[in-house]
Amino acid sequence: MTKQDQIVMGAEAEWWRGAVIYQIYPRSFQDSTGDGIGDLKGITARLDHIARLGADAIWISPFFTSPMKDFGYDVSDYCDVDPMFGTLSDFDALVARAHELGLKVMIDLVLSHTSDQHPWFKESRKNRSNARADWYVWAEPKGDGTPPNNWLSIFGGSAWQWDSRREQYYLHNFLTSQPDLNFHHEPVQEALLDVARFWLQRGVNGFRLDTINFYFADKYLRDNPSLPKELRNDSIAPGVNPYNHQLHLFDKNQPENTNFLRKFRAVLDPYGAAAVGEVGDAQRGLEIMAEYTSGGDKVQMCYPFEMLQPKRLTAALLEDTFARMTAVAPDAWPCWAYSNHDTVRHITRWGLSEAAARTYTVLLMCLRGSLCLYQGEELGLPEAEIDFEELQDPYGIEFWPEFKGRDGCRTPMTWVADNAHGGFSEGVPWLPVKAPHLNRAVAVQEAEATSMLQHYRRALAFRRAHETLRTGDLTGLVATGDLAVFQRGGDEAIFCAFNLGAEQAQAELPQGDWEAIGGDLGATAAIGGAVTLGPWGFCLMRKV
C-alpha cells in the first residue's frame, strides 16, 4: 500500500468528521404501499432529494420488528425489518442506492432496552433460573412490597414494573413495555455487539445510538438524590414531568459505560464505520459527550441537548456551550442539531421568523462538529398542530395538554401541494398532513429560487466548499449582546459574525486582509475592517 493509499483510506475512515447527517423518520417519509405508513421502498425512492440537498449521510430511525408501542424504539427483533416497513431485501436495496448517490447510511440502534415482546425478555421473565434470567435489570421489592428505589420513568411514574411470574420488579426507563437490559451481564454486551456486526456486514456505515448514557444502571440500585427546583431543566423531559425532580446519578451515566463503548468502537473500526450517541442528560450532557468521544477509542461523536432545548439559542448560550465544551475536553467531537423526532420543531420552539430561521441555518453550517438535519427542516416546517383525538404518541397522551407529545414533529413529509396528503401516501396517513405544511412542499419550493429549500442547498454547498468549516478549529467565540463572533481555522481562516437578535449590531474584523464570502446566502460584507449587521444579519469573511 502506498502512502497516498493510506492517506485516502484514512480520510475515508474520517468521513463522519464535519459531516451533515439527514435524519429520516421512516413512518413519515414516503409510503410506497398506500397503507398510510412510510416504508423502506419509499425512502429509497426519495434518496435523490437528500443527495441533491447536499447531505453526506442519512440516519434512519428504527425500522426493526416491533409491536410499535413506542413506534419502533421498542425492538422485538434487532436483526429483521418490521413488515410494515418492508423486508431485509428492501433494506439492502436502500443501502445500495444510497451508496450509488454518495450517501453513507446510519441506522438507529436502541440498545438500552428492548420490547417486552422480545424473545430475550419472554424467557427472562419466566423464572429466576432460566438461561436469560440475568439479561434484564430485575430487583427484589422493599419489605413493604414497593419498588426497590425511587427511580422514575421518563414517560411518567415509577421506573419499576412488578412482574408476577418472578415476583420481582424490572427496570424500565421509558414505557413499561420497554424493559432495560442488564449491561453488567457480559452475555448481554456480546449479543448487542453481534447485532452491530450483523448490520455492518449488510453495508451500513454507522449507527445512531439511542440513549447512549442509559446503558448501565447502578449495580447497587441506590436512590437518586432530589434536585432543587432552581436547578431543574426541562431539556430532557417536559416541565410537568416529575422526572425533572431528581438528579439522575444512579439510573444512568455510570462509569462502566466507557468500557462497553470501547468494545463497540473495536467493532466499528474494521468497517470504517462511525457512531453518534444521543446523550440524554439535563445537567451533565456536555461533560458526558466529552467523556464518550474523547481519546479516539470510544464513539466518534455525540449530541447533547444544548441546541434542542425549549430556550432559543442565543449568542450568550452559544458562547457558554463552546466554553464549557472546551474546558472539559477540547478533543471531544459534537454533533449539533436544532430539531429531531423527539422535540418541537425549532422554527416553532424558538418562535423564529423567516429571516431568523435562515440565519440559524447558516450558523449551524459554520459550527465545529458534525450536524444533523431532521426531515422537513430544509423546508422550514413549523410544528404541526395535532388535536388530542389525532394523537398517537403515548408520551403526549400521558401529559396532555401541558405537553402535547412528539406527534407534531412527526407528521408526514410534504412532497407536493396538490393533494391532501402532500404526496406522502395514496392512503390515509398515520398522522394528518396539515395545511401549513402543504404550502411548503418540496415541489413548491423547487420552483422558488429564494425558498428555504434552496437556501439549505446553498448553505450545505457552502459548508462542503470550505473544509475549514467541516474540520477546522473554532476559536475566539465571544458574545456581545445578540452578536456572536468567532473564527474557524484550518487550511483557510474564516471570520464569522452572527446577529441573533432583532436590533442592529456592529462587529470588528481581526487584523489582516479579508474578502467577503457567502454572498449567495445573504451574508453582509465588511467594509474597512468593520461590519454593521441588521436584525438577523451575518457576515462571513475569508482571510486573504
The set of catalytic residues is: 210, 278
Residues with Cβ within 8 Å of residue 488, at least 6 apart in sequence: 366, 368, 466, 468, 469, 472, 473, 474, 494, 496
Distance CA 482, CA 235 (A): 22
90: how many CB neighbours lie within 10 A of its CB? 18
Residues with Cβ within 8 Å of residue 140, at least 6 apart in sequence: 148, 168, 169
The answer to whether 85 and 63 have CB atoms below 8 angstroms apart is yes
Between the CA of residue 304 and those of 89, 271, 372, what are the distances in Å? 34, 26, 12
The answer to whether 464 and 54 have CB atoms below 8 angstroms apart is yes
Phi then psi dihedrals of residue 346, to 5 deg: -65, -25
Residues with Cβ within 8 Å of residue 144, at least 6 apart in sequence: none
The interaxial angle of helices 186-200 and 257-268, nearest 10 deg, is 30
399: how many CB neighbours lie within 10 A of its CB? 19
The residues pairing with 496 across neighbouring beta strands, listed in sequence order, are 486, 540
Distance CA 459, CA 361 (A): 7
Between the CA of residue 339 and those of 62, 224, 397, 529, what are the distances in Å? 17, 30, 21, 35
The answer to whether 349 and 383 have CB atoms below 8 angstroms apart is yes
CA proximity to 159, closest of 74, 223, 227: 223
318, exposed or middle or buried, with CB in 10 Å at 0-12, 13-18, 19+?
Answer: buried
Strands (E), 362-404: 370-374
Between the CA of residue 214 and those of 278, 371, 522, what are the distances in Å? 10, 23, 42
C-alpha count within 13 angstroms, C-beta hemisphere, residue 312? 14
Task: Compute the C-alpha angle 226/334/61, nearest 5°.
Answer: 85
Residues with Cβ within 8 Å of residue 253, at least 6 apart in sequence: 213, 281, 284, 288
Distance CA 334, CA 276 (A): 9
The interaxial angle of helices 285-293 and 257-268, nearest 10 deg, is 50
